[in-house]
Structures are given as structure tokens and as C-alpha cells.
Amino acid sequence: MSVYLYDKAFVDSLREITKDSRINIMSPDDMFSITAITNQDVIKLPTISLQRPNWSIIIDRISHPQSRDGITTTYDENIQKFRNVQMIPIRINYLIDVWTKTREDNDNIMRELIWYYITHPTLTVKIPYGLNIEHRFNIFLDPDIDDNSDIVEHKNRGVYFRQTISAYTDDAYLWKGSARFPAYITAEVIINNEL
């Protein structure tokens, strides 16, 4: 399973708790341009954007049985045997940006997000590849909140306030059904405009 399914679970969670379908994965630089394009040049605040700056393999938690042999998961009635799944532990880092017209609104929304994810950190992803299992993972918040309101840009884009909080999950995995072959990348070489 690719990392983007964890992204989707996080975005879906933010959309559900805010009742705002505009929340997407995007960089802060793209927030105004993408929002304007999708909303006919109308930017409505408040809004929240989510960014995944990086992710990493958790080397010290890789175990031989999970990553090489796989673990038994579910019984497949079509082939009448148990299916195995292989897993490599990863950490995914996120940045949550809250954009508002007033500092008070920004503080209030950030407070609500912090309370929600401190008290309800668990999200769920469905593992594909015919495994049909669900994996529960937790979102953790870093303690510092950055005020990224760019006062200079207020003149160009109008007044807005932006606060950012870092979040992460360190109980995510790269998943692979052991019955599937690895994906291969093929390349065609074009020489003199001929294949």
C-alpha cells in the first residue's frame, strides 16, 4: 500500500470533523492558486490545508517475519488458504495549516483541532491487494505551533492569518500482499526517434 492512502485517511478525517470538503493535500504556496481555480477565483476563509513534507522508513523496527516472510492475515475462500501480508514500518510527517481572516478565528480553529486529535488520534486505512483488512494508526501532534502569518503578503492577497502545527504517524506501514509479484518499472529507450 502506498503512503497516499494514509494521506487520504487524514484528509477524510479533517473533512469529516470540519464539514469542509475543500481540505486537500497541498503546499502553502499552492493553497491560494489551487483554491481559486477550484472555486472560480473565490477564496473563502477559514480553510485548512494539509501537507506531507516527507516520510521515512523506520529501520530499527523492521523485523524479519513481517518484512520478508509476511504474517498470516485472512482466509481466502476462493483459493482456500490463508493469505500473507508483508509490512515495512514507516513514519509519515504532516503539516496542518489553518488559514483565517482573524487571529481569534485562527486560534479557535487550532484549539479545536488540537483537542480533537489529542483525544481522538486513531484513524483507519483499508489495505488493498485483495487482503481486505483494516489497519488502525494514530496521528500525533508536535508541541509547537508556528505563526506563519506573512504580514507583508497581507497587501497582495488580503489580510489572512495562518498557523501551522506539525503532526506525524509512526505506526504506518508499506504493505504488500505476498501473493503479488513486485512492481517493475519498464523504460523504453528512444534512439533517433525509433523504439
Listed range (22-31, 163-172, 177-186) with the worst mean pLDDT: 177-186
Residues of the chain with pLDDT > 90, as a percent, come to 45
Q: Mind giving me the DSSP string for 130-150?
A: TT-EEEEEE-EEEEEEEE---
- Model confidence at 182: pLDDT above 60: no
pLDDT of residue 159: 75
What pLDDT was estimated at residue 45? 83
Region of poorest pLDDT, from 23-27, 54-58, 143-147 = 23-27
**Rounded-to-integer distance, Cα 181 and Cα 58, Å:** 23
C-alpha to C-alpha distance for 129 and 179, rounded to whole angstroms? 9
Q: What is the pLDDT of residue 66?
A: 61
Architecture field, domain 4-177: 2-Layer Sandwich (3.30)
83-124: per-residue pLDDT in tens? Answer: 677 788 999 999 999 999 899 999 999 999 999 999 999 999
Percent of the chain with pLDDT over 70: 67
Question: What residue has cell string 505551533?
Answer: 145
β 71-76/122-127 pair status: unpaired
Query: Do the Cβ atoms of 26 and 66 come closer than 8 Å?
Result: no
Angle of CA points 96, 97, 103, to nearest 5°? 135
* Residue type at 189 in one-letter notation: V
Confidence tier at 195 by pLDDT (50, 70, 90): very low
Distance CA 132, CA 54 (A): 27
What's the confidence (pLDDT) of residue 152? 47
Mean pLDDT of the chain: 80
Q: 3-class SS at 80?
A: coil
On the CB side of 49, CA atoms within 13 Å amount to 21
**Is 50 within 8 Å of 17 (Cβ atoms)?**
no
Cα(10)–Cα(20) distance, integer angstroms: 13
Grid coordinates of 96:
496542518
Say which residue the cell 481559486 belongs to: 36
pLDDT at 137 over 50: yes
